[in-house]
Amino acid sequence: QVQLVESGGGLVQPGGSLRLSCAASGFTFSSYAMSWYRQAPGKERELVALISSFGLNLNYADSVKGRFTISRDNAKNTVYLQMNSLKPEDTAVYYCTVNKGVRYWGQGTQVTVSS
């Protein structure tokens, strides 16, 4: 079955960086676009970044453009989210997701940006 396992979250100071990873299994990873969403307390879940199956097309939320970079390694069935210049408003649970007709979600990883 589809499994998505995120890692790499944590506590970081404003201006710092984190790299999230999502290890995927149970489907042909290279055939699907992958995306990262986030959900802050009291807010709706929002799309952060999306990468096409071979990484040729990238999309970002306006709030993270120029600071976050999504990438993937199809040989390792892994998608990444490099987050630089982090701000307190980036604090959220970050989820890896794939849409195979049905959208599958990982368990999420907490990112907290605070001094």
- How do residues 26-44 score in pLDDT, each as one tens digit? 999 999 999 999 999 999 9
- In a 3-state reduction of DSSP, which class is residue 40? coil
Please give the pLDDT value at position 88.
97
Q: For residue 46, what pLDDT is reported?
A: 97
Task: Write down how long the chain is.
Answer: 115
Tokens of 106: 């990982």
Condensed to tens digits (0 to 9), the pLDDT of residues 46-86 reads 999 999 999 899 999 999 999 999 999 999 999 999 999 99
What pLDDT, on the 0 to 100 scale, is given for residue 35?
Answer: 98
Q: What is the pLDDT of residue 86?
A: 98
Q: How far apart are the first and last CA of the chain?
A: 40
At 99, is the pLDDT very low, low, confident or very high (cuts 50, 70, 90)?
A: very high
Bridge partner list, 46: 38
Give the list of residues 6+ apart from residue 32 with CB closer than 8 angstroms, or none. 53, 98, 99, 100
3-state class (DSSP) for residue 88: helix
* Per-residue confidence (pLDDT) for residue 16, from 0 to 100: 98
- Residues whose CB is less than 8 angstroms from the CB of residue 104 and which lie 6 or more positions away in sequence, other chains included: 2, 4, 97, 98
